[in-house]
Amino acid sequence: MKIILDNLFTTNQFEKLREEGAISFYQNRNVQFKEYYLIEELSKQDFLTWNEVENSAQTLFEQLKGLNAAIAKNTSLILVVKADNFQADLPLLKNKILQVEEDAFNFKKYVIVYTENSVQLLETADNISENLKAVLLNATSFNAFKENMCADEQYLATIQLFLKLPFLPTPVETNTELASIESLLNNRLSSTQKSLLEKLTTGGNIEANLNWQEVKRLALLQDANEDQINQFLSNFEDDAQA
C-alpha cells in the first residue's frame, strides 16, 4: 500500500516532506492550498491498541506544527492498517475504525484497511492512478462487491482509497446522460437506506453501528454498468472536496 499511496500523493500535487519509520508527512505543492497529510502504517494489532492522544503520528505532528501555523489547522491523518483477511478481520476492526474516524482531536482521521492480496497487482501496474480508476469502474467487480464486499479484495481496497482520500477525484464521466440520482434513490432505496446514504455524502453523523456491510447495501442497482457506477460514485464528490 505504501507504493500506491506514494504514487497517488505525488500525482496529485503533493510532496513528501518527512518520513520517520512508518510515518510520512506530505504537503500540497500548490502554495494556494494549505493541505497536509500524516500517514501512519499499522498492523491490525497495533491499530486495535492505537491511542488517539499518545501515538507516533501525534508526536511528529507536535514537532511539525511549530514550524508552520497552517499545519496545525490543515492536517489530516490517514491510518493504513494491514489485515490478514478482510472477511475475518473487518468485523474485529469496525468499532475501532468508527471510534478513530469520529474523533476530532487535532485533525480529521481516515482509516484504510488492506491485505497483501488486495494490493499486490495494484502496486505493480504501469500507471497506478489509471489502473485504480479502471478497477473502480469494473462493473463485474462492482456487482460482486454489492453481493459480498469481501468477494474481490482488490476492489475493496480500491473503493476505500476513493472514499477515504479527500483529494482523490472519482472518475465520473461528465458528459454521460443518466437518470437523476434523486430518481434512482426514490425508486431503489428504502427510507432508512436513503437516510444512511445522505449522511455518508453530506458528512452527517453516522450511527455507531454503520460499517462497510451497510455501505455495500446502499449500492443502487442490481445490474450496474459503468455509467451507473459513475452515477453512484458521484454522490461522494462534494463530501470529498469539502
User: 69 and 19 share a domain?
Assistant: yes
Q: Closest by alpha carbon to 212, among 106, 101, 131? A: 101
Q: Give the per-residue pLDDT at 232.
A: 52
Tell me, yes or no, if the pTM score tops 0.75. no
Q: Is residue 174 part of a domain?
A: no
Decide: 112 and 156 in contact? Cβ < 8 Å: no
User: 97 and 64 share a domain?
Assistant: yes
Q: Closest by alpha carbon to 80, among 42, 26, 25? A: 42
Q: 40 CB contacts (<8 Å, ≥6 apart)? A: 22, 23, 55, 56, 57, 77, 78, 79, 80
Q: How many domains does the chain have?
A: 2
Q: Give the per-residue pLDDT at 176.
A: 38
Cell of 149: 464486499
The rounded distance, in Å, linking the Cα atoms of 225 and 140 is 8
Q: Is residue 172 part of a domain?
A: no
The rounded distance, in Å, linking the Cα atoms of 128 and 12 is 12
Q: Closest by alpha carbon to 226, among 188, 189, 172, 182? A: 172
- The sheet with strand 36-43 has its strands ordered as 14-20, 23-28, 36-43, 75-82, 108-114
Q: Is residue 176 part of a domain?
A: no
Q: Give the per-residue pLDDT at 241.
A: 44
Q: Is residue 170 part of a domain?
A: no
The tens digit of pLDDT for each residue in 126-153 reads 899 889 988 888 888 888 887 888 889 9
Q: Give the per-residue pLDDT at 184.
A: 42
Q: How many helices (H) and strands (E) does the chain have?
A: 14, 5
User: 57 and 160 share a domain?
Assistant: yes
Q: Which domain holds residue 218?
A: 181-241
**DSSP structural state of residue 52:** S
The tens digit of pLDDT for each residue in 171-227 reads 754 333 333 444 444 554 555 555 554 544 444 433 333 344 444 444 333 344 555
Overall size of the chain counted in residues: 242
